[in-house]
Amino acid sequence: MMSDAAALERLYAYPATDRPWVRSNFVSTLDGAAAGTDGRSGTLGGDADTRVFALLRSLADVIIVGAGTARDEGYADFDVDSELRARLGLAPVPAMVLVSHTLDIPGALIAPGNVVVTAANADPSRVAALRETVEVLVTGDEEIDWPAVLATLADRGWTRILCEGGPTLHGELIRLDLVDELCLTVAPILTGGNAPRIARGHEGVDRPMALGHAIEADGGLLTRWVRARS
């Protein structure tokens, strides 16, 4: 049963903390696929997932997304709930932070206000070209220094972090134990095939999570899991 708007806002409120809180948001099939047969995730979620996806964006200071997902999912402009953001004292729109080594960023996202995060070994000419339009944050020599990125965002008051993936970026944040919360829609679908899971990387780690809530919707589940830190 889907909750009303006020109840959903309470269920997905960020905790009151002045440190960065990293929430990731994914949809997965019952057999663990993070993409449908079209190679995208949007086709997996129903109306309830779409609604929560939009709410999570509206609650965030910043949306972090891997360039792979931005390319595969055709990221572009998006709408947020202006009334909700004003009521919560948030900026009119969240900042979109794009993560990339190659700096192959979709043209629609090379727009003032967006931020590109990369490492120091990125192509300097591409960095310079992007800097004509967007801010490029360079941290770490060969790999992005995520604690430094989060500290920089927090210095701007951006502590409500929403990571929309994809699996490569998510795997890296999990490896570093930087994911505080996972919002996962479980879609009532079996798909087989060889789609990625919601996280991948070179090495496995154990990061226990505790169930925050599970709501039945569209025949599937909207779940929220919080990192169980001892």
Ligand X SMILES: NC(=O)c1ccc[n+]([C@@H]2O[C@H](COP(=O)([O-])OP(=O)(O)OC[C@H]3O[C@@H](n4cnc5c(N)ncnc54)[C@H](OP(=O)(O)O)[C@@H]3O)[C@@H](O)[C@H]2O)c1
Residues that bind ligand X (CB under 6 A): 26-28, 34-35, 39-41, 66-69, 72-73, 99-102, 104, 144, 164-169, 172, 196, 198
Q: Are 21 and 181 in contact (CB under 8 A)?
A: yes
From the CB of 166, what's the least distance to ligand X, in Å? 2
From the CB of 138, what's the least distance to ligand X, in Å? 11
From the CB of 176, what's the least distance to ligand X, in Å? 9
Q: Which is nearer to ligand X, 91 or 200 (CB)?
A: 200
Sign of CA dihedral 63, 65, 70, 72: negative
Quick one: three-class SS letters along the chain? Answer: CCCCHHHHHHHCCCCCCCCCEEEEEEEEECCCCCCCCCCCCCCCCCHHHHHHHHHHHHHCCEEEEEHHHHHHCCCCCCCCCHHHHHHHCCCCCCEEEEECCCCCCCHHHCCCCCEEEECCCCCHHHHHHHHCCCEEEECCCCCCCHHHHHHHHHHCCCCEEEECCCHHHHHHHHHCCCCCEEEEEEECCCCCCCCCCCCCCCCCCCCCEEEEEEEEECCEEEEEEEECCC
Backbone angles phi, psi at 98, to 5 degrees: -105, 130
Q: Which is nearer to ligand X, 143 or 216 (CB)?
A: 143
From the CB of 116, what's the least distance to ligand X, in Å? 10
From the CB of 4, what's the least distance to ligand X, in Å? 24
Instruction: Name the residue among 38, 117, 108, 48 with its Cα closest to residue 78.
Output: 108
